[in-house]
Amino acid sequence: MYFYKYVATRFEDAKAALLPGESEEDFDPHAHRHVPKPTTYSETMMHMLKGCLGAGLLAMPNAFARMGVIYGTLGMILIGVFATYCIQVLVRVQYVLCKRMRRGYMAYNKSMRMAVMGGPDFMRGSAGFFANGVDFFLLVWQIGICAVYFVFVAENVKQVLDYYGYVVSVRRLIVYTYPPLLLLSLIKDLKLLTPFSTISNFSIMLGLYLTFFYLIEDEPVMDDSKFQMKGIEEIPVFIGITLFALEAVGVILALEYNMEKPRDFTGLCGLFSVAMFIIIGIYVTLGIFGYLKYGNACEGSITLNLPQNQKKAQVAKMTFTLALFLSYPLQNFVAWQIVWRKSRKKFNISYRHIADYLIRFVVATLPFGMAVAAPNLEAFMGLLGAFCLTFAAIVFPALMELCVNWPEQYGFCYYKFFKDLFIIIFGVFACCSGVYTSALEIIAQQKK
């Protein structure tokens, strides 16, 4: 629940007072954070693992089916290391900005605004644009996750119903799940959603256990085709799916903020690096075993490949379905919070209550419309990862560092400048190619 407490919290804009004996130069933002109940190293690690093990994990076999065992493994490791580095850059830049502004903490969008305002003169006028860009991509990301949850729930329920003779289309099941999810999204008190999170976490653990049972029960089939890439055009979708699975920018920043000793979060052997090493290991393991088991028939979620006529497989599908169904209102709450934070002052006090529910209704309905329009799980995850996370987790952190180092802190031969420029160009290219390729897959799926 730390993530949801984080997004619901308003941080003070006022500068923090210096501690006794502390000068302007050695101001430590970590010492000025006011977290009522900070998390320990082990607690933060558990939250980190929980936050990154979700629907994206179940898409790993499909991602490996596009790249093959060797290229999939290398690609997963390279993208994981690259994404980890970019988030490390974001956290370090936020620390530098907090130190300059003498504040204990600044949210992502405010950090972006401050960074651009301190950058090159020609960019300073666009500080508000980039700050709003952060909110835009985080909002689209959250709404996209909710849409993925709609599709995931519908596809898994359809397989179970088909086995028992109840043939229903995926789109119709998405329509059936909309009313209860809309009602859950109208809940204002996060404490009421806490039991749902507990059940969801237990369901994910049980589902993973049952899924791995099927993946390792037989000797894997090895042939040359499973070590080859399908085609160059699969790379952008692979990158998008991998980013979707790996990155949870809001969760990561929330955990760093709530940590008892934030200095232990970053660094080569910091908590974030260690957690990402574990997460990448789990992803690679599931991706390889799932691909060796089902080959090119891997679906957008490995649960869709499990036998339809076996009780254990049906339980696995329904446990993951229950987990994501119960996680939907929490993810939707984050999207609502972003919109409400930026719009509530525009409404008259007497109408804010009505406006609040209206925004909740709209934010809960948008993912439903997206899911009905394009119920293609793997292409949707690739599109979402390519469009949102390339900017939120790659381009923006590099841009912030480029501005913060302006004009004379780029190191020997301006290596930091060229490094950040390369990251930005790579992120924009990955976004354009990933969105294009994923959109083609969605269009092709619609024509079937």
Predicted local confidence at residue 306, as pLDDT: 86
Whether 313 contacts 210, CB under 8 Å: yes
In a domain, 20, yes or no: no
* Tally of structural domains, the chain: 1
Q: Full-prediction pTM beyond 0.75?
A: yes
Predicted local confidence at residue 440, as pLDDT: 80
Predicted local confidence at residue 399, as pLDDT: 93
Peptide bond into 407 cis (omega under 30): yes
In a domain, 144, yes or no: yes
In a domain, 95, yes or no: yes
**What does the radius of gyration of the chain's CA atoms come to, in whole angstroms?**
22
In a domain, 24, yes or no: no
What length does the chain have? 448
Q: Which domain holds residue 405?
A: 39-447
Predicted local confidence at residue 398, as pLDDT: 93
Structure tokens at 140: 């689209």
pLDDT digits (tens, 9 = 90+) for 127-182: 889 999 998 998 888 888 888 888 888 888 888 888 888 888 888 899 999 998 88
In a domain, 372, yes or no: yes
Number of C-beta neighbours around residue 314 at 10 A:
20
Comparing CA positions, the residue from 228, 209, 378 lying closest to residue 295 is 228
Predicted local confidence at residue 74, as pLDDT: 94
Q: What is the pLDDT along the chain (448 residues), one digit of tens a residue?
A: 444 444 444 444 445 555 555 554 667 777 777 777 787 888 788 777 766 766 778 888 988 988 888 999 999 999 999 988 999 999 999 988 988 888 888 888 899 999 999 888 888 889 889 999 998 998 888 888 888 888 888 888 888 888 888 888 888 899 999 998 888 888 776 566 667 767 877 888 888 888 888 888 777 777 777 888 888 888 888 888 888 887 677 778 777 877 888 888 887 788 888 888 988 998 999 899 989 888 888 887 888 888 888 888 888 888 888 888 887 887 787 788 788 878 877 777 777 788 888 888 998 899 898 888 876 666 677 777 888 888 988 999 999 999 998 888 887 888 888 999 999 999 999 888 888 888 887 777 666 5
Predicted local confidence at residue 115, as pLDDT: 92
First to last CA, the chain: 41
In a domain, 304, yes or no: yes
Predicted local confidence at residue 2, as pLDDT: 46
- Which residues neighbour 173 within 8 Å (Cβ) at sequence distance 6 or greater? 153, 154, 157, 158, 161
- Cα atoms found within 13 Å of the Cα of residue 348, Cβ hemisphere only: 2
Predicted local confidence at residue 112, as pLDDT: 92
Whether 262 contacts 256, CB under 8 Å: yes
In a domain, 433, yes or no: yes
Whether 333 contacts 141, CB under 8 Å: no
In a domain, 6, yes or no: no
CATH at residue 218? 1.20.1740.10
Predicted local confidence at residue 113, as pLDDT: 93
- CA-CA-CA-CA dihedral for 285, 289, 295, 297, to nearest 10: -80
Q: How far is 98 from 81, CA to CA, in rounded Å?
A: 26
